[in-house]
Each structure stands twice: as structure tokens, then as C-alpha cells.
Structure 1
Amino acid sequence: MQVTETLSEGLKRGFTVVVPGAEMEGRRQARLTELGRSMNLPGFRPGKVPLSLVRQRYGTAVTGEILEQTVNDATRDLLAERGLRSATQPKVDLVRGDTAATAGKQAADDLEFTVELELLPEITPPDLAGLSLTRLKAEPDAETVERALADIAKRNRRFETIEEQRGAAPGEALTVDFVGRVDGVAFEGGTASDVDVEIGGSGFIPGFAEQLEGLQPGQERTINVTFPEEYQAAELAGKQAAFDVTAKALKRPIDCAIDDDLAKTIGFEGLEQVREVISQQVRQEYDQLSRMRIKRELLDILAEKADFPAPQGMVETEFGSIWQRVEADRKEGRIDDEDKEKDEAALRADYRRIAERRVRLGLLLAEIGRVANVSVTQEELGRAMRAEAGRYPGQEQMVIDFFRKNPQAAETLRGPIFENKVVDYIIDQASVEERTVTPEELAEIPPAAA
């Protein structure tokens, strides 16, 4: 094939590629001959159908197939021969195609097409051993453990019925029946009977339990609430609903002693075992916060070192994804106070900088991972699939089957695993100082990087 470079500007490259018509004809003849060996027509023995008849029946389809295959092969060879790594899918446009099969010509036209692409930039990974990081550590204290025990005791309280006829007060509980409606229509999961609702307690839709205060057994009340925007049932998220509530009984809580009997109630041998389990759980939460903090510090450092040009095609794709979420948030009134003061041009500029930072960081992490031979195993991908399926109780197998049938969807799980493995690799190579802080200091949100 003949290749002519037509563009070399920054990371952008352009080429015109010409494949001789003779090569195209050779490919087509080979494919038609292959089809003829398995073609059956009345009056001809299998494999003995004349090539002219094969061409008559399959010529147009084979021409299209060979055209696509040749363009793909030539583009791949062009990149390989010149050592080019494309940042995104190359843009290919046909200039002159092979029309011999459809035009009845004896010789095929040369195939001519153009290729435009953006290259991945040259990336030199930093000296990982020279990176200095701080890992913040915190230990569960007695107060934290005791608060958790108090919460367990509260959840395991028993309630006794109040015979006095009066309205419910905060801290007490009402046994109620209710029917919920959106736009006047009862919705799935919005009807229940004999439910104990603590007045002012959590666990229900915000505003539901608060509006039960003062309601007496035997009375009815209609309560209006709005489902949170993040509500797990997407069809109800952000919607207003009315609940018709009937109170049936008033109850008061009986405090539960924090002792070995409580521990046995929840399946443990004794109170000290519960304390140890709580400490382990809190320590895991602190470890997760610690990792989040050191990962953020690392990414901020790497962002400063990622001084190579970012492929604009990748930036545009990332920006488009970010801006779509920004517009959705603005529509729902969830925009940050800081962003409210900015006009659209300023907002776009800010989020484009974020998109560019993400692209550079992603490319740098990918290059570090490539050099270090970091990869994602099928076992790791399988665990991620099962974890994702676990978010949909009762539909786990359906989610697993979806990933197995849609490899591209499964690939969306590979990226975060790869990134975390590369981050772990870098942290292992870097110089890390450990510093003990309070749980409050560990939980502080550090200022955003510029």
C-alpha cells in the first residue's frame, strides 16, 4: 500500500492510504473461490459452481466485506509500521472504493481512504521512589466503641403498650397502617400494616415520622413527604407522595441493658466479643478513610507531574460526560454554592480543566501500570461482577448474565480495579511516612487541588 502523511500537528496525524486495485481483486477472488467450494446449486456438483455464478450471487456482498477488511488491515498495519499509538478510534473516510464487482469492470479500482487520529503523548513516568506520601492512621477509642454499643442497645429495645389515650411524643412509637400514593395512585412498596414507627426517628422517608407526633391510636392522618433525590427506587426519587396513616397503638421504649445478655441476643458469646467486633469494623472504616486520603494526595502529586499534552478527543469525551451530570444537577437544583455564582462560560472552563486533569492522570496511571506489567485477572473481574450484582438483591444472576453477554459492560468494571492496583503499586514504591491522628482529623475533607 502507498501511504502519504497529510497532517502532523501536535498529537494529530493524518494520512492518505492507497491500496492497489490488483490487491483488492486478489482478495476478492480468493474470497469468492472460498465461497464457491461450499456453494450448492442445482445442476452442479458441490464445489464445482463456476466462479462467474458465485460472483453474480455474492459479488456485491464480498466487495463490501473485502473493502471493510482491507481498510481495517491497512489502518492497523499503518499504525504498527510507524509505531503510532492512537488515543482514540482513528477516523477513516473512503475517498475512492473498489467498484469492479458492481460496475462490471474487468479490473478493480485502487482503494483510497484517509485516516485521521490523535496520538497518545510521550509519557515519562516519574521516579516513584522519590515520591513522598503521608499515611494518616487512627485507632478506635473507647468512646467510639461505647457509642456503637449504645446504638445496638437502642435498636434492640423492646416497647410496651401505653394504655393512656393521648398523642404520641418524640421517642415513643406508634403502630400504624399506611397507604402511600404518588399523583393519587398507590405505588408498589407504599402499603404496610402493623409497622412500628418511632416518633422523630430515622429509617423512614424524611418528614414521615416527624409528622406522626401528637397522633393518637384510632386516629387517621394524611402525611405529605418528598422522596430524596438519591432514593433507591428510581421511579420514586424526588417525587412527592401522600400517605394515609391509621394509628393503632402507642408504645414506649424500655431501655436495654448493655451486658452479656444483649450480646447473646445478637448472636455473640459475650459483651467483650461484641466490643472486639465493633473495634475491627471501626478500624476497617478508618483504614478505608486512610487509603482515600493517601490516594488523593498521590493523585494530586501525579497531576503536577503530568505535564504532557492531553489528546483533545479524550478531553472532549470526558468533558461531555462531566457536563452531562452538571446539567442534570443544575436542572434538579443540586448545584454547589460556589458554582451558583459562575456563568456558564466560567463553569465550562472549570469543568474542562477537570476533564483535562482526569485524562492526564488516567494516561499517566495507565503508562505506569503498563511499564510495571499491572493487569486485572479474570478472578478479580469476577469478584467485581459479583459485588455489583450484590447491589441488586433478588436479581444477582440476571446481572451476572448481563455482564457475561456484554463484554463491553464488563470492561467498565476493569478500569477502577486497574487504577486501584496501580495506585497500590505506586504507594509500595514511594516513601511513605505514617502519622497518627484523631478520627476527626482523619475524616476531614482536604482542600481540592488547584
Structure 2
Amino acid sequence: MKTVATEKDGLKRAYELTIPAKDIEAKVEAEIKRVAPQVKMPGFRPGKVPPNLIRKMHGEAIEAQALEQAVRGGVDKLIADEKLKPAIQPEVELKDGYEHGKDAEVSVKLEILPDVPTPEIDGLKLERLTVDVDDKQVDERLAELAKNQKSWKDAAKTKKAGKGDLVVMDFVGSVDGEEFEGGSAEDMNIELGSGRLIPGFEDQLEGVKAGDKRTVEVTFPADYPAENLKGKPAKFEVTVKKVRVEDETKVDDAFAQALGLKDLDQLKGLIKDQAQQELNGLTRTHMKRRLLDQLAAGHDFPVPPTMVDAEYENIMQQLRHEAGHEADAEAALKEIEADAEDYRKIAERRVRLGLLLSEIGQQQGVEITQPEMNRLIAQAAQRYPAEQQTQFLEYIRNNPMAAAQLRAPLYEEKVVDFLFERADVTDREVTRAELEEDLEREDDLEAENTKAKAPAKKKAAPKKAVAKKGDAKTGDAKKPAAKKPAAKKAPAKKAAAQKADDKPAAKKAPAKKKAPAKKKAD
């Protein structure tokens, strides 16, 4: 195989490979020999079909497979010989098609991971802000829980139902005079104003009393799940059995038992534990931000532009999604686009910190065990519908880079834990408000540091937006999506894309990926 380097610019590399026709032919002959025992043809015993007939029948498919194997092998050899560490899957292109009996000309383009300087991890000093949960916080959460667990009592028979009241009813629905499946119910409870029923249904129940009968006329929405009811007008004959009003919820042992617990003390204990876990998470976020700030301040090196682009697009996509839910979505989107350069700087910082943490982990022997990886894969598979989980597992098994992306967040957290143990940590007790204010203040300071030239502080992105200009610090940010072979797609998730938080895109050096040959016409 002949190799010619055509580009070496920063972290970008490009090569022209020439794969001799004889190498491709050798793979064709090897494949014919391999499949010969399984080939069946009238007039021949199994395994006795002459190679020339196998070539005549299946030669085109066998040659295409042999060519792909040769190209993949050539790319692997190139990576090994040049000691390359691809940042993403190489872009492989078969030049000018391919003619039988001719050498194959292949173009390979890729970006490589930078040589990360030996990380300076000695002398790290961190402050751990600690917060203890007090009885007042537990009582506040208990009151909120009670507020969301409404209790009801029967109202007087003369009580007319209004918004916020509970109507207990039977009903029978019909479309075009015919009852339909799922259109009837008995003893159904509906809180007026809750919006649980078809638009207009609950409104027409306002003013009913126990014992009333009423005909409710509504039209099914155009996007109603049942095809036979979409956009259809319907009538419901309703019999009101009771009107109930909200009663005071008593926070006692009975309340806890209604939630499946032993008594009120157990409920309070669970609430306290949950609150403490949340506070511990905020404390860790604060420590991790300070840690990453120290690492970022002491290290600067070039990062692969494609990785930065992918991380930037990930940030912007999620910011746009969140802005779409703002009261003034258009204004929120304009603000995000105006600060696009700031978010690109955040993306670059995320990628650099990710590479740095990966280098620290490799130097210090941090590893993800197979049981840990198995749990990660199982948890990720649960985000897909049951019928797609097998497809997802196969996708992860066959795509080392996808598996590396799945592994990266846990790997990063283990490296952070290692650095926490190595650092000189001092504790300071604060209130929750003080801790949250400190985190918000860090956001504002970092936002100022990421601005290119603006002398005055810009308005922060909408609160719902995922990444503030001061992030790239902590949380579970998604890694940039590596390019994947078109034939192997992960199954579509059953839920909307998960929110990315503020952490650097941790990068382990990706496993070498065999790139499929791609015709120029593609």
C-alpha cells in the first residue's frame, strides 16, 4: 500500500492511499474460498461448486466486500504506522469510483488529538462549602408535599361545582349517535380546571350539583390519539354523583401511611435524606467548578476544531430548545444568537478540560470496570422503547466510539474524585442560600471572562436556557456526537433530548474505528 501525506495543518491530517489491485484480488479469492463450502448450485454437491462459477454468481458482492475490507485495513494500517490518535472517525472516500482489476485510490481526512502537556495536579487547594438540613427545611418540604397531596370531603348536595372542586360522575359518550370504545366511565373523579379532559368538557360541568344530569358537547382535537375520533364532534351524557371540595390535609402518621410508609417519622427521615443529597450535590458542583477553574488556568493547548464545533452545536441546540419555551421565545433566541461567540468559547473550554481530565485519568490509572460499564449500558438502554433496546445494545457493541462516549461522563467523575482526594480541602459551613449565591456569582464572573471584548456585562441567557456563559464547569453535558456509519444508527429515543448541564466534554482517546469505504458519488 502506498501512502502520501497531503495535509498537515495543526491537528488536521489528510492522506492519499493506493491499495494495489492484487491485494483486493487476494481478498476476493480468500472470500470465495471461505464461502465455497456453503454455496449450493443445481448439479453440484454442496461444497463442490467451482470457484469460477461462484465468482460469476456472486463476484460483484464479494468484490465490494473485499474492497471495503481492504480500505478498512488500509486506514487501520495508516493510523498505526503514523501513530495517529484520531479525535473523530476518519472521513474516508473512494476516489473516482472503482474499476475491477485497478488499484483503489482512497482519500483519508481526520483530526487528531493534541499532545496534552503533563497536567499539573500538585498543590490543588479546594474549599468545600457544607450545608446541614435543619428541621425548618424538612417542615417546609413536608408542607409542600401535603399541598400536592390534596384531600377531599363531600360538599352539601346544594353545592354548585366550580373550578378547583372535584366532580364524581358517570358518563356515556357517543359520536354520530353511536357509543364508542373508551367513551364511558363510572365514578370518575375530575378536578374542574385541571385540563385532564377534552377541551371544553370541564367548563361545561361548572355549576352542576349532586344528582344533576347534563349533556356535554365537545369536539375531539385534530391530534387526538384515536384515529376514529380525531376532529369528531361528540356528546357525553353525564350523571353527577357528588361534588367534593378540598379538605385540609393533616400531616400525621395516616398521611405517611397513605404514601406507603410506616409513620410520619419515617417520612421526615426520607425527606431529610433527600434534601441532604441535593445539598451534597450543590457542594460537589461548587468544588468541581473550583477544581476545573484551577486546571483551566494552568493549561492551554490546541483542541480539534471538529470536536469544538460538535460541542458548540450541542450547546446551541439545547439553548434554542429551552428558549422556545420562554414567554418571549423570539427575544430569547436573538439573545442566544448574539452571544454565540461566548458559547463557542465555552465549547472550546469544555473540550480542552475533557482532554485534560482524560490525560490525568490515563496517567493515574483511573479505569471504568466492566461491571460499571455494564450498568451504564443497561441504564442507557432504558431510555429507549423496549422494542429498540436490543438494537441499541447491538449498536453500542459494534461502535467503539459510541461506547467511549457513553463511558466518558462516569470516567470524568472518577478522575474528579481522584483529584478531590489528592487536593488540600478545607471545610466551611454555610447556608443553602449562601451556597447558591456563590454558585450564581461564579456564573457571572465566568461569563465576563468568556466574553471576547464586551466591556459591559451582557444580560444573562434566559433562566431556562441550559448553559450560562459561565458554565463548562460541572454537571452532565453531552459529549460531541462522533460521526457514525450511516448503516448503523442508534434507535430513536422515546423521550425528548435530555438537558445538558455544565460539564466539560470528557474525552478518552477514542478506540480506533474501522471506517467504511465511501464512494465519491455519495
TM normalised by structure 2 equals 0.64
1:334: how far off? Answer: 6.3
Asked if 1:365 is matched to 2:354, the reply is: no
In 2, Cα distance between equivalents of 1:432 and 1:125: 23
Does the CA-based 8 Å contact 1:63-1:98 persist in structure 2? Answer: no
Aligned to 1:287: 280
**2:392 — aligned with what?**
403
Q: Deviations over 1:239-293 (max 9, x none)?
A: xxxxx99976444555455455555555555544443333222212222222233
Query: Residue 311 of structure 1: CA displacement?
Result: 1.0
| Residue 310 of structure 1 pairs with residue 303 of structure 2 | yes
Kindly state the Cα deviation for residue 9 of structure 1 after the two structures are TM-superposed: 1.0
Cα 1:432/1:334, change in 2 over 3 Å = farther
Tell me if the contact between 1:96 and 1:110 (Cα under 8 Å) persists in the aligned partners: no
Aligned residue in 1 for 2:86: 86
Q: Is the 8 A contact 1:310 1:356 kept in 2?
A: yes
The one-letter amino acid of 2:68's match is E
TM-score (norm 1): 0.72
Structure 2 residue matching 1:128: 3-state secondary structure? coil
* 1:378-417 map, 5 Å: 378-384=370-376, 387=379, 397-398=386-387, 400-407=389-396, 411=403, 413-417=406-410
SS at match of 2:361: helix
Instruction: Compute the displacement of 1:385 (Å).
Output: 5.2
CA change 1:198–1:54 in 2 (3 A) is closer
Distance apart, 1:92 and its partner CA: 2.2
Offset of 1:318 from its aligned partner? 2.7
Q: What residue is the counterpart of 1:298 in the other structure?
A: 291
User: How many residues are aligned here?
Assistant: 416
Q: Is the 8 A contact 1:40 1:47 kept in 2?
A: yes
Aligned-pair CA distance for 1:120 = 0.7
Checking the alignment, whether the CA contact within 8 Å between 2:128 and 2:426 is kept in structure 1 is yes
| Conserved? CA contact 1:386–1:400, under 8 Å | no
Match among 113, 119, 125 for residue 112 of structure 2: 119
- Residue 309 of structure 1 deviates from its aligned partner by 1.4
Contact 2:382–2:389 (CA<8 Å) still a contact in 1? Answer: no
Give the residue type in structure 2 aligned to 1:379.
P
Deviation at 1:10, TM superposition (A): 0.6
Question: Which residue does the alignment assign to 1:441?
Answer: 434
Mapped contact 2:323–2:333 kept (Cα < 8 A): no
**2:30 equivalent to 1:30:** yes
Tell me the equivalent position of 2:340: 348
AA matched with 1:80: A
Closer/same/farther in 2, CA of residues 55 and 19 from structure 1, 3 Å limit = same
**Mapping for residues 109-188 of structure 1, pairs under 5 Å:** 109-151=102-144, 158-163=151-156, 165-166=158-159, 175=168
Mapped partners of 2:31, 2:67: distance in 1: 12
Q: Equivalent residue for 2:71?
A: 71
Work out whether residues 23 and 70 of structure 2, in 8 Å CA contact, stay in contact via their aligned partners in 1. no
The offset of 1:138, in angstroms, is 1.1
Aligned to 2:13: 13
Residue number in structure 1 paired with 2:271: 278
1:291-325 per-residue CA deviation (whole Å, 9 max, x = no partner) reads 23333333444444452212112222233333444
- The alignment status of 1:431 with 2:424, answered yes or no, reads yes
Partner of 1:239: none
**Other structure's SS at 1:18 match:** strand
1:194–1:434 Cα change, 3 Å: farther
Structure 1: distance between partners of 2:240 and 2:254:
33
Q: Could you say if the C-alpha distance between residues 147 and 332 of structure 1 is closer, same or farther in structure 2, counting changes exceeding 3 Å? A: closer
Counterparts in 2 of 1:117 and 1:387: CA distance versus 1, 3 Å: closer
Q: Which has the higher contact order (CA 8 A, sep 6+)?
A: 2
Q: Distance in 2 between matches of 1:124 and 1:190?
A: 68
Change (3 A) 1:155 1:24: closer
- CA distance in structure 1 between the partners assigned to 2:296 and 2:172 by the alignment: 53
1:113 to 1:173, Cα distance in 2 relative to 1, 3 A:
closer
Change (3 A) 1:361 1:269: same
Provide the rounded CA distance (Å) in 1 between the counterparts of 2:251 and 2:288. 39
How far apart are 1:140 and its partner, in Å? 1.1
Deviation at 1:216, TM superposition (A): 5.5
For residues 420 and 358 of structure 2, what CA distance do their matches in structure 1 show? 15
Structure 1 unaligned runs (5+)? 103-107, 181-187, 225-232, 234-243
Residue aligning to 1:183: none
- Kindly indicate whether the alpha-carbon contact (under 8 Å) linking 1:11 and 1:311 is maintained by their aligned counterparts in 2: yes
Distance of 1:335 and 1:116 partners within structure 2? 43
Shift of 1:363: 2.4
Contact 2:13 2:110 in 1 (8 A): yes
- Note if contact 2:161-2:167 (Cα within 8 Å) is conserved in structure 1: yes
The answer as to whether partners of 2:119 and 2:356 remain within 8 angstroms in 1 is no
SS of aligned partner of 1:130 = coil
Question: Over aligned residues, Cα RMSD in angstroms?
Answer: 4.7
Tell which deviates more after alignment, 290-299 or 81-90: 290-299
Q: Distance in 1 between matches of 2:435 and 2:296?
A: 23
Which residue number in structure 2 is paired with residue 236 of structure 1?
Answer: none
> Post-superposition shift, 1:377?
3.9
Contact preservation (8 Å) 1:93, 1:113: yes
Read off the aligned partner of 1:290 and give its amino acid letter: T
Give the aligned residue type for 1:119: I
Other structure's SS at 1:310 match: coil
> Does the C-alpha gap of structure 1 residues 44 and 350 become closer, same or farther in structure 2, counting only changes over 3 Å?
same
With over 3 angstroms needed to count, the CA separation of the structure-2 counterparts of 1:79 and 1:178, relative to structure 1, is farther
